[in-house]
Structures are given as structure tokens and as C-alpha cells.
Amino acid sequence: MSDKTDTTYDIVVFGATSFVGQILTGYLLKTYGTGKDLKWAIAGRSKNKLNSLKSDLGKDGSALPVIVADASDESALKALCDQTRVVISTVGPYALFGEPLVKVCAETGTDYCDLTGEVQWIRKMVDKYEATAKSSGARIVHCCGFDSIPSDMGVWFLQQQAEQTFGAPCRDVRMRVKAAKGEFSGGTVASMVNVAKEAAADPALRKELANPFSICPPGHRSETRQPSLKGAEFDKEMGVWLAPFVMGAINTRIVHRSNALQDARYGKEFTYDEAMIVGRGLQGRLTAYGITGALTGFFTASAFKPSRWLVEKFIPKPGEGPSPEVQESGYYDLRFVGKTEDGKTIKTKVVGDRDPGYGSTAKMLGEAGVCLAFDVADKPGGIWTPSSLMDGKLFDRLTSKAGLSFEVLETS
């Protein structure tokens, strides 16, 4: 495991001037101050923009150290990593800009977390750098924002409760988005467009994106067919119409990797899926078909050059996002239903107190970084998931500081 104990900083926020990076630095400053309980710095490619961010953060922000490094400059990234135990990266789309930093962190034994939702890139990072990270002690944790902490930690919480209540984990878990208010970040949308573009040009990638175990270790598979909602569907058990949840593609894979990295703690035949609850009756049905059509249109248009320009013209650009007031008025309410092999049922919920794409994501990402810095010194290097590496330590931070709540609704 990594023995980086004599560094200048506990954490460096790389990409601090990005939209989410600015929210993240504001959160860390408000929650931890500078140079006190948490020693941290901000980093990016533009010294002028970093200094401007310090000014925007006010008097307290003036003490923040600045590190200049470009995402493609490995020597500058190594100099950055030599100064810190943890790097939090907000520089996406990660498939375009993220690999050099992961490479350097893996080589130098520097812990790392990000907010990517790009499953094809995560697969590539696992293949190329997991052995190096295991050797150096670097703990690499992708998907530490809305995708995929609420899903990953939501399943972890449900399974903890199931084991305590029933003496066994749930073999089947379904997550349903009951309600949410907020906007997609420009970076998230840009990443989705890039995935569609890559998949259109690569049949092997299309096959991989259809595999729910694509980022699991070799050999971790299930004989049980995994559920996957592709279109509008009526849920007879709940009496509601469902539509596909766009984040489900990455969240399901992170949950399955978490299971695999915990030696199939949820069971070798564990099944998991996600969907959105969109309403009842005719209105619910129309909404479900409307959302399905919109998602199909978005990914189809993003895949081909003649129509991609139109998508890119109207979607938010990376670096753009909602006002602080809109961020604070956002929220999400996720419901989980788990069933054990012998038919016992548990229902839980996870609620976040900010909009998912920005306000809540920044707080979750910040606490994941702090958790890496202080709470997992006994864990080995490798490419982990939030729940498999940080489990109860992260849960405590999310509930005490990051505005998330986890609750058991019903057992039967």
C-alpha cells in the first residue's frame, strides 16, 4: 500500500476552475478551511484562472496554494503528485483528457478520485493501470459523483440492512428514481456525446457497452439474465410507468464491480437495474414513451457527424451550469427494493439535498477525496469503487457532511 505520509498536501483539486471544480473548492473551503485540518491546494493549466478563482473565493481563499499543470503534461503531473497524497480530478471528458493523470497517480502511489461516468474509459484504465496501482499502493476510485455514489452506496446500505435483518444479502435489487430536480452538467453531456461517437465507430465497444459486467474482473459473471430497461414499461408491482434512467448504464456496472471486488458479497447471481418512475395512468405512459424517444434521439443524433453538430449547438457546454440558487433548490429521491433468495423484501431510500449534477456531486466528490486522505490507510492499491474501498467511512461522511440521507422504509 502507499506510504506517502510526508507530502506537502493531503489533497490537490485538479481542474479547480471547471464549473464543478469551483463548487468543490467552495465546499472544501467552507467545510475544512485552508491549511488546518485539511492541507490542500488547487491546480489547473492556467495560473491566471486559478488566481481569479482564489479572488472569487474571498479572503479565506487567498491562502490557497496554486499548482500549474496541464492534463497532457506527464512531467508536470508527476511534480503535482509528488506534493500530495490524493488528487481529485474534475477534468473531463475523461476519455479525452483523463488518462495521463491516472497513469501518473498509479505510477507514483498517489490516491485519486474523479466524477467520470464513462464506462469505456474506466475499462481501459483498469486494463492498463490496475496492476501498476496495486504495485505502487495507489487507490484509484472513479465515479465519485452522482454517478455513481448514491447508487453504489445505496445498494451497500440496503445490503447491510438486509444482512442485519434477514441474515442474508438480497439477490435482486432494483433502484427507481422517484423524484429529482436539477440539470445535467455540460461535462456530463459532453461525455455522453463522446461515448455515442466512439460507439458508432467501434463494434467491439458497442458490444462492451451492452455487457453489465464490462468493468468487473475477469471471470466474474452471472448465469442469471440481468434486467435492463430499454423502453417504456409498466411496473405492475408498483402500479407506475417506468422509463430508462440515463445514468443506469454506468451505475449498474459500478454496483456489479463493487460486488465482484467484495468477493461476490451480494451473491454470484446478484441482479441489479435502474429506471425512472414517471407517473401513473395515461399521462405516465405518454411521459415514459416521450422520455424513451428523447433518449433514443439524443444518442442517435450524437453518434453521427451530420447531426452531432446540432446536438452540440443546443446542449450545455463543459464549464456551464446553473446558478447557486438553482443548485440549492435541487434534490433527488432514489428508492431501492431488494429481495433475498427466499423471498424476503426490504425497501430503502437515498435522498440528496442539492441538485444531482452539481451541488450534490461536488460535496460527494469532496468527501470521497477526504475519505481517501484520512480513512483508508489500511486498504491496498488498485482500481476500486466507492463502496468497495470506503464503505462505512464514506457513509459516515456523506450523512454527516454531504447532505445525503439513507433510510429503511419497510421490511417484509
Structural domain that includes position 119: 9-146+360-397
**391 plus 379 within the same structural domain:** yes
1 lies in a domain? no
**165 plus 16 within the same structural domain:** no
291 lies in a domain? yes
**275 plus 345 within the same structural domain:** yes
**346 plus 367 within the same structural domain:** no
CATH code for the domain in which residue 125 is found: 3.40.50.720
**121 plus 23 within the same structural domain:** yes
Interval 114-160: pLDDT, tens: 999 889 899 999 999 999 999 999 999 999 999 899 999 999 999 99
What CA–CA distances, in Å, run from 291 to 81, 149, 201, 277, 369? Answer: 43, 24, 25, 11, 34
**88 plus 183 within the same structural domain:** no
3 lies in a domain? no
What CA–CA distances, in Å, run from 33 to 40, 294, 397? Answer: 9, 43, 17
2 lies in a domain? no
**200 plus 128 within the same structural domain:** no
Percent of the chain with pLDDT over 90: 65
Residue ranges in 273-385 assigned as alpha helix (H): 281-303, 305-314, 324-329, 361-374
**176 plus 299 within the same structural domain:** yes
- Comparing CA positions, the residue from 178, 152, 183 lying closest to residue 333 is 178
386 lies in a domain? yes
4 lies in a domain? no
**256 plus 318 within the same structural domain:** yes
User: Quick check: 240 pLDDT over 80?
Assistant: yes
Element (H, E) at 273: strand 271-279
269 lies in a domain? yes
**280 plus 313 within the same structural domain:** yes
What is the average pLDDT across 45-73? 94
**344 plus 371 within the same structural domain:** no
| Domains contained in the chain, number | 2
Interval 86-123: pLDDT, tens: 999 999 889 889 999 999 999 999 999 999 988 989 99
Q: Write the Ramachandran bin of 227: left for phi over 0, alpha for psi from -120 to 50, otherwise beta.
A: beta
**142 plus 178 within the same structural domain:** no
pLDDT-derived band at 311 (thresholds 50, 70, 90) equals very low
Residue in the block written with cell 490516491: 111
